[in-house]
């Protein structure tokens, strides 16, 4: 199957926007915010800030974003160690092969940490 030059040009804007929409912002999450409590199984690594939790026997991926190691207003890597119970508020990530949440707020050791403002 051949695509005409006009057809290819018409597809370019959609193709170039797709990766950005899939990774940044809140558009890929579902609308309802919910709360999730579990035990950390893997601490966040890398710039994406991915945290793994065991929630009643199911493994969840939590996108917490990059952590600022010197900010008192955010949880730091030393707080997010395997075996720690944590409660997260955010929006469900509808990825087909895993359970996931994009985190807006962390409740840990009696403190509340807001990672992101209200979704747009």
Q: Residue 88 pLDDT more than 60?
A: yes
Which structure tokens are listed for 67?
Answer: 């952590």
Q: Which CATH class is domain 30-114?
A: mainly beta
CA angle at 106 for the pair 102 and 109, rounded to the nearest 5°: 155
Q: Residue 58 pLDDT more than 90?
A: yes
Q: What are the residue ranges spanned by the domains of the chain?
A: 30-114
Q: What is the pLDDT of residue 93?
A: 84
Q: Residue 32 pLDDT more than 70?
A: yes
Which structure tokens are listed for 109?
Answer: 């050791």
Q: What is the pLDDT of residue 24?
A: 45
């Amino acid at each position: 199957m051949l695509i005409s030059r006009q057809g290819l040009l018409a597809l370019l804007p959609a193709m170039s926007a797709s990766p950005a929409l899939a990774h940044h912002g809140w558009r890929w999450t579902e609308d309802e915010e919910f709360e999730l409590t579990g035990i950390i199984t893997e601490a966040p690594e890398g710039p994406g800030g991915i945290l793994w939790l065991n929630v009643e026997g199911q493994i969840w991926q939590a996108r917490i974003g990059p952590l600022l190691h010197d900010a008192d207003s955010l949880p730091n890597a030393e707080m997010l160690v395997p075996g720690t119970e944590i409660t997260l508020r955010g929006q469900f990530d509808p990825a087909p092969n895993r359970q996931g949440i994009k985190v807006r707020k962390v409740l840990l050791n009696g403190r509340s940490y807001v990672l992101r403002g209200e979704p747009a």
